[in-house]
Amino acid sequence: MCEKLSLWCSYQSIIFNLKQHPVYPCFAILTAFNPRSIVLSKRENLDRNAQMAAELSTLVQELLPITCSGLDGQWQEPGFVVPLSLTKVRQLARQWEQNAIYWVEDNELFLVPVLIEGQEIQRLGDWPSFLYT
């Protein structure tokens, strides 16, 4: 199944690095990098993330930076921990042209499709097991 859905499967092989652990009961992890998984230049991605940070700062009191990485460390994208409703973060992810987002609720990590079609929300496991230590 993953051979046909390599992009969706790659989103499941993830670790997160953050300096401050979120204290929210539920939150999303959003990035503006590489819209629709189209690789942009470093400058374009950094500009997009700065624009996203400016928008998010009008919606939340505190922005917590987080880095999402592939298990081998070859791929990395900075993003933000966003304590908003799932409906709102899906709307933001569509606006920023993201295929999927990560959602944490009750210490469980989920992969949530946004622009990718034909996928359901998938439970990935216990949130702490995805943190880089």
User: Quick one: pLDDT at residue 4?
Assistant: 43
User: Quick one: pLDDT at residue 33?
Assistant: 97
| Residue in this structure with the two tokens 């079609």, named with its chain if needed | 117
89 phi/psi in degrees, rounded to 5: -70, -30
User: Quick one: pLDDT at residue 68?
Assistant: 95
User: Quick one: pLDDT at residue 13?
Assistant: 93
Phi-psi group of 72: left, alpha or beta (phi > 0 → left; psi -120 to 50 → alpha; rest → beta): alpha
> What pLDDT digit, counting tens, does each position of 23-51 carry?
999 999 999 999 999 999 999 999 999 99
List strand residue ranges (DSSP E) for 20-95, in order. Answer: 26-30, 64-70, 76-82
User: Quick one: pLDDT at residue 5?
Assistant: 66
User: Quick one: pLDDT at residue 133?
Assistant: 62
Which string of b and e fits 46-69 if b means at least 16 CB within 10 Å?
eebbeebeeebeeeeeebbebbbb
| Low-confidence stretches of the chain (pLDDT beneath 50) | 1, 3-4
